[in-house]
Amino acid sequence: MEIVDSQTHVDEFGLWLNLVALLNINPDNNK
């Protein structure tokens, strides 16, 4: 079960990285 927990955590981290990457790619959208 620990492995499943770890994978879920990695997936959430990946989603966050995608969000940050999108914001970094299009900073003008934040204005």
Does the structure show a pLDDT above 70 at 30? no
SS3 26: coil
**Does 30 reside within a domain?**
no
pTM strictly above 0.75:
no
C-alpha angle 15-21-5 in degrees, rounded to nearest 5 = 20
Q: What is the pLDDT of residue 3?
A: 65
Total structural domains within the chain: 1
**Does 11 reside within a domain?**
yes
Domain that holds residue 21: 1-25
Does the structure show a pLDDT above 80 at 5? no
Q: For the segment 8-20, what is each residue's pLDDT rounded down to a tens digit?
A: 777 888 899 999 9
